[in-house]
Amino acid sequence: MPQAQLLRIFARPPLPLLFALAGAGLIISAYSAWDATLPAFCGAGSARLLLSFGWPDALRLALALNPPARLLTEWASMLLAMMPPLLAVPLMHVWRSSQPRRRVRAITCFVLGYGCVWLTVGPVLIGLALLLQFVAGQGAVAFAGAVLLASLWSASPWQRIALNRGHRLSRIGLFGWAADRECLTFGAVHAVWCVASCWPWMLVPLAAASWHIPAMLVTGAIMLLERLGPPGWPRWRWPAFLALLDLRPIRVLRQGGVR
Amino acid sequence: MGAVRKDVATLGPGWNKTLLNYALAMQALDELPLGNRNSWKFLGAMHGFDKGLWVQQHLIAQAAPVPPDLTNDTYGNQCQHASWFFLSWHRGYLHAFEAIVAATVKRLTGDDWTLPYWNYLDHDNPKARSVPDAFLADNLPDGSPNPLRKYPRRPGLAELRPGPTDSFSLAAVDEDDFVVGNHGSVGLGGGISGDFIQFGGWTGQLEANPHNTVHRLVGGFMGDPRLAGLDPIFWLHHCNIDRVWEAWMSAPGKTMVSDSRWRDGPDDRTFIMPKVGGGDPGMTFTGRDTLKGGTLHPSYDNLTKGTGLVIPGAVAVARVNMGASDQQRVEPIGANSAVVSVGATPAKTQVDLEPVATRSGVAAMGATEPGKEVTRLYLALESVRGSAPAPMIDVYVNVPEGDAPQDHPELHAGNLTLFGLNVASQPNGAHGGNGLGYTLDITDLATRLTKADNFDPNRLRVTLVPGEQISDDTPITVDKISVLKRTGIVN
C-alpha cells in the first residue's frame, strides 16, 4: 500500500508543519494570482513586448509595469509554496543537532542561509523564463520547452550529482555565533545544491502563465519526489517523476529523522 | 532449522566432521556461477557487491554479466550496519546460509549440518582466540587445496591478536537497552534508521565491539564489507555475534526494542534471502521473524560461555537500570568547534561543555536509589568519513599537554574499528556519504576524572590517535565530537 505508507510518513513531524507552510505559500500565491506580476512578467506578453520594441525599451517598460520589489515578493511566496516539504531532512538534522534552547535560533539561521541563496537566484531564473518566452514566441511552446528542459535535466547524471550532494549533512555546533554560522552555511550550501538540482523545474510555473498555481503544485510534488529519493550513482536515467509510486522517498525521510 | 548451533571449539580438533563437511559444501557452492542464488559468491555478494572491486580481486571477469538480482535492489548489497537492523538482518542472513550449506552437505555426504560459532571471547578456553585449525590448513584430508583458506586474510593470521589498546571485549552487553534516544545514538543495537540502510548513522555497541574489531583483526576480505561474506570464517564470527545478542535478550534487565518500525520493517525494501535451490519466491522476513517464536529464531547450546551474561535467573545487572527505554533522554551537552582530521599523527580537539548540564550530569552519574535521576555520559563521534575499509582509532581525554596519549592508559576512552567506512563515505553511495557515527560510554572515565580532580565541567580535551589504515594519504575526518548526556530514572 504505497499511498498509505506515504500518507503515514507525511503525517509525522515535521512534515505536517512544512506542508502547512507550503499551503500558506500557495494561498498567498493564489490570492494574488488574479493580478500576479511574476507569471505575467515572464509570460508571453512580455515576450511580445520584447519582440515589438526590442530589448532595452521593452525591458524598461516591463520593469516599470512590474516593480522588482513586487517580483521578488511573489518569487518569495512561490518559494514558500514549493520548498518547505523538501527541507524535512536537513531541518530535522539541525533541530536534533542543536541544544534544545537554541533550536529555534538554529532553524532560523538555516532558513536564512537557504532563503538568501534562493532569493539571489530568483532574478536569474526569472530572466531565464523571460528568455525562454522570447525564444519560444508562444506561451504554450515556452511551457513545453520548460517541461522538456526540466525532464532532460532530471534524467541527467549532473542532476543526480546535485541531488546526492543535497543529501550531505553538515556539522552543527552547539554554542554561540559559531553554531549560528554553521547553520547559516549549511542552509546556504544546501540551497546551492537544491538550486542545482531543480532550477529548470522552477521555470515551469514561471512559464505556465494562467496555469501558474497548478503548475506550482505539480512541480512541487515532482521536486519533492526527486529530493527525497535515495542517493544513487550518477548516470542517465528515467526522470524520477515517471515513478510517482516509487517508495524510495520514504526511506530518505526516515533516515533523515522523519520517522 | 531446529538444530542446535555449537561452539566450534567443542567439535573436536582439526578436520572434525562439521568443518570437513563445511569445506566440502563451500567447495561445491564456490564452483557454482555467480548467477546461481545458492552459489558461494552470490551469498557473499548479498552482504556487499562492487563490480570493480570484484574484478580487481579476480572474483569475476570484467566481461562477466552481473546478475540483475545483485543490482535491482532485491538480493544484492543488503547488509545492514550502523542501524538497528544490524542484528536482525544478519540473523536472517545466517539462517538462509545455514540452510543452503546444510542442504549441500546432505546432498554430498548424507550428514546433517549446523553452523558452528567461533567463541573467541570464552575466557574458559585459553585457545578461544585461535583461528580453528581447519581454516588455516593448506589442504583437505584428501590432499586437495583447502577451500576454507581460499580467500585472503591478514598475513600470518593464526589467532586474534588485539593490540594493547584494542577494546576487544564483551563490555557491550552491559548495556541494558537495545536503543535509546531519538537518534538511537546509544544502545546495544544501533541507531534508528527507519528503513533499509546498508550503512546508517549510529553504530550499536555490539556492532562496534566485538563485531567490528574481529573483522579488522581477521583482515583481508573480512576487513571490507564488500568482500567479507566470501571468507568462510565470516559465518562463524557472525554466528557468535548472533549468539551474544540472543544471550543479551535472554538476560534479566535487558529491554529489546518494541517499535513496530523495527519489528515489521523495513517497508521500503524487503529483506530477502534465497531458499535452498534458489527458486522464486525468496524468503522475505522482518525483525519480528528473528525473535523468539519467529521462524528465524535460532537455538544455541550455550548462552553463558563467552557472552558476558548470566542466564537465566540472575538478579544482579552490571549497571543501574535507567528505566524504560522510551522514557530516557539523550541530549548534547558539549561539542567541539570544527571538523577534525586525523592523519599519521594524533589530532587534538577541545569539546566545550555546558557547565550547568555537565555538573548535574556528573552529580547524577552514581545514583542508585530507585526513583532518583541517573545519568551516563557518552563521547559521540559524528559523521566519521574516510577511504579505508576498516581503520582504527584510539580516543583519549584530558591527556596532559606534551604527554604521549599512550602513556596514559587511564585516560583511554575507547578504541574504534570503523568497519565499512569506505562504503559509508562514498558521496554517491546509498548513504549520501554521511559517514558513520559512534558513541563511547565515558561514564566510568568521567567518574575517575572527577575523583582525580581532572574533570573540568567547561571543557574536555579529546585526542584521536590513528591506528592501522590511517595515514596522511588515507586520513579520516570527524565532523563533530560531542558529549551526550543520557538521563533516566533509577528503576
B427 CA to chain A: closest CA distance, Å?
7
Interchain proximity B428–A230, CB inside 8 Å: no
Q: Is the pLDDT of residue B87 over 80?
A: yes
Cell numbers placing A111: 532558513
The values of phi and psi at residue B24, to 5°, are -65, -40
Q: State the residue for C-alpha cell 506550482.
A: A216
Whether the predicted pLDDT of B113 surpasses 80: yes
Mean pLDDT, chain B, integer: 93
**What is the predicted pLDDT for the residue at A1?**
43
* A247 → closest Cβ in B268, B428, B431: B268
Distance from CA of A259 to the nearest CA of B (A): 6
Read off the pLDDT of each residue in B148-169 and give the average, rounded to a whole number.
94
Domain ranges of chain A: 3-256
Nearest-5° angle of CA A186, CA A187, CA A189?
A: 65
- Element at B465 (helix H, strand E): strand B459-466
Q: How far is CA B127 from the centre of its chain?
A: 22
pLDDT of residue A36: 57
Chain A CA closest to residue B333: A99
Average pLDDT over residues A71-90: 93
Q: Cβ of B268 and A248 within 8 Å?
A: yes
What residue in A sits closest to B477 (Cα-Cα)?
A171
The residues on B that touch A, with CB distances below 8 Å, are 182-183, 192-197, 200-201, 261, 266-269, 331-335, 337, 339, 352, 354, 382-383, 427-434, 479-480, 482
Mutate to test the interface with A, among B51, B183, B267 (most CBs of A within 10 A): B267
CA nearest neighbour of B97 among B306, B291, B208, B237: B237
**Using a CB-CB distance cutoff of 8 angstroms, which residues of chain A are in contact with residue B270?**
none
Of the partner residues A172, A233, A257, the one whose CB lies closest to the CB of residue B428: A233
| Cα separation values, A254 from A12, A13, A15, A246, Å | 10, 11, 12, 15
User: Cα angle at B475 between B154 and B228, to 5 degrees?
Assistant: 35
CB A230 within 8 A of CB A256: no
Residue B115 has pLDDT above 80, yes or no: yes
Please determine, for residue A255, whether its predicted confidence score (pLDDT) is greater than 60: no
Helices (H), B17-117: 17-30, 40-47, 51-56, 86-109
For a pLDDT cut of 90, what percent of chain B falls above it?
87
- Mean pLDDT of the region B118-123: 96
Q: Tens digits of per-residue pLDDT, A36-54? A: 566 666 655 556 665 666 6
What does the alpha-carbon distance between residue B311 and residue A168 come to, in Å, rounded to a whole number?
44
Amino acid at A28: I
- Residue A25, pLDDT > 90, answer yes
d(CA A77, CA A67): 16
Residue of B71, B55, B74 lying closest to B63 (CA atoms): B55
Of A96, A97, A234, the CB nearest to B428: A234
Tell if the CB–CB gap between B182 and A165 is shorter than 8 Å.
Answer: no
CB B426 within 8 A of CB A167: no
Which residues in B lie closer than 8 A to residue A99 (C-beta atoms)? 331-333, 354
B251 contacts B310 by C-beta, under 8 angstroms: yes
Cell of B98: 545455514
Gap from B432 CA to chain A (nearest CA, Å): 5
CA distance B141 to B382: 49
Q: What is the phi-psi region of residue B420: left when phi exceeds 0, alpha when psi lies from -120 to 50, beta otherwise?
A: left
Q: What is the pLDDT of residues B242-301, one digit of tens each?
A: 999 999 999 999 999 998 889 987 867 889 999 999 999 999 999 999 999 999 999 999
Ramachandran bin of B346, using left for φ above 0, alpha for ψ from -120 to 50, beta for the remaining angles: beta
ipTM more than 0.95?
A: no
C-beta atoms of B182 and A257 within 8 A: yes
How distant is the Cα of A253 from the closest Cα of chain B, in angstroms? 8
Q: How confident is the model at residue B345 (pLDDT cuts 50, 70, 90)?
A: very high
Instruction: Name which of B182, B194, B479 is nearest A171 (Cβ-Cβ).
Output: B479
pLDDT tens readout for residues B50-72: 999 999 999 999 999 999 999 88
> CA B357 to CA B330: how far, in whole Å?
12
Interior angle at CA B304, CA B299 and CA B309, nearest 5: 115
Distance from CA of B371 to the nearest CA of A (A): 25
Q: Is the pLDDT of residue B387 over 70?
A: yes
pLDDT score of B169: 93
Q: What is the pTM of this model?
A: 0.90
Q: In this structure, what are the phi and psi dihedrals at residue B333, rounded to the nearest 5 degrees?
A: -120, 0
pLDDT tens per residue, range A132-160: 887 877 778 889 999 999 999 999 999 99
pLDDT over 70, % of chain B = 97
Residue A92 to residue B378: CA distance in whole angstroms = 22
Return all residues near B227 (Cβ < 8 A) that are at least 6 apart.
B44, B48, B53, B54, B57, B151, B221
Tell me the per-residue pLDDT of B303-342, one tens digit each, with 9 for 90 and over.
999 998 875 544 444 588 899 998 999 999 999 999 999 9
**pLDDT of amino acid A258:** 53
Q: Are B323 and B375 in contact (CB under 8 A)?
A: no
What is the tens place of the pLDDT at every residue in B416-456?
A: 999 999 999 998 887 789 999 999 999 999 999 999 999 99
B56 burial level (CB within 10 Å; 0-12, 13-18, 19+): exposed
Q: Report the C-alpha gap between B325 and B488 in whole angstroms.
A: 9
Mean pLDDT of A175-204: 96
The pLDDT value given to residue B1: 47
Mean pLDDT over the full length of chain A: 84
The pLDDT value recorded for residue B342 is 98
Which of A5, A92, A94, A174 is most worth mutating to test chain B (most B CB atoms within 10 A of its CB)? A174
- List of chain A residues whose C-beta atoms are within 8 Å of the C-beta of residue B480: 97, 171-173
pLDDT at residue B312 in the model: 55
- Is residue B196 pLDDT above 90, yes or no? no
Q: What is the pLDDT of residue B195?
A: 64
Please indicate whether, in this complex, the C-beta atoms of A231 and B267 are within 8 angstroms of each other.
no
Least confident of A53-57, A239-243, B205-209: A53-57
For residue A99, give the chain B residue with the closest CA: B332
Instruction: Report the pLDDT value the prediction gives residue A164, as an integer from 0 to 100.
Output: 93
Neighbours of B116 (CB within 10 A): 23
B394 forms bridges with which residues in the sheet? B415, B465
Mention every residue, 6+ apart, whose C-beta is less than 8 A from residue B262.
Answer: B84, B85, B88, B179, B287
Report whether pLDDT(A4) > 70.
Answer: no
Cβ pair B379, B483 in contact under 8 A: yes
Q: Of B107, B158, B170, B105, nearest to B134 (Cα)? A: B158
Measured distance CA(B70)–CA(B48) in Å, rounded = 9
Grid cell for residue B96? 538462509
Contact A225, A239 (CB under 8 A): no
Distance CA B360, CA B244 (A): 34
Confidence (pLDDT) at B26: 98
When pLDDT is averaged across residues B172-186 and rounded to a whole number, the result is 89
Q: Which of B81, B428, B431, B480 should we substitute to test contact with A (largest number of A Cβ atoms within 10 Å)? A: B428
Torsion of the alpha carbons at B15, B17, B22 and B27, rounded to the nearest 10: 70
Q: Do A251 and B192 touch (CB under 8 A)?
A: no
List chain B residues with CB under 8 Å of A13.
Answer: none
Q: Which residue of B has its CA nearest to A174?
A: B335
Facing residue for B337 by CB, picked from A165, A173, A253: A173
Across A26-35, A57-66, A107-116, least confident range: A57-66
**Interface contact flag, A161 B335, Cβ < 8 Å:** no
Q: Among A228-237, B165-174, B398-407, B459-468, where is mean pLDDT lowest?
A: A228-237
Q: Which chain A residue shows the shortest CA-CA distance from B200?
A: A255
Dihedral Cα B97, B392, B415, B403, nearest 10 deg: 170
Instruction: Please give the interface size between A and B, counted as residue pairs whose CB atoms are below 8 Å apart.
Output: 93
Point out the least confidently predicted range of A62-66, B295-299, B349-353: A62-66
R_g of chain B computed on alpha carbons:
22
Do B197 and B253 contact (CB within 8 A), yes or no? Answer: no
**Segment among A125-134, A199-208, B78-87 with least mean pLDDT:** A125-134
Please tell me the predicted confidence (pLDDT) of residue A229: 78
Which residues are paired to B186 by β-bridges?
Answer: B180
pLDDT at residue B382 greater than cutoff 60: yes
- The residues that bridge with B273 in the sheet, in sequence order, are B283
B428 vs A100: CB contact, 8 Å cut-off? no
> Which residue has better confidence, B72 or B209?
B209
Residue of chain B whose alpha carbon sits nearest to that of A93: B183
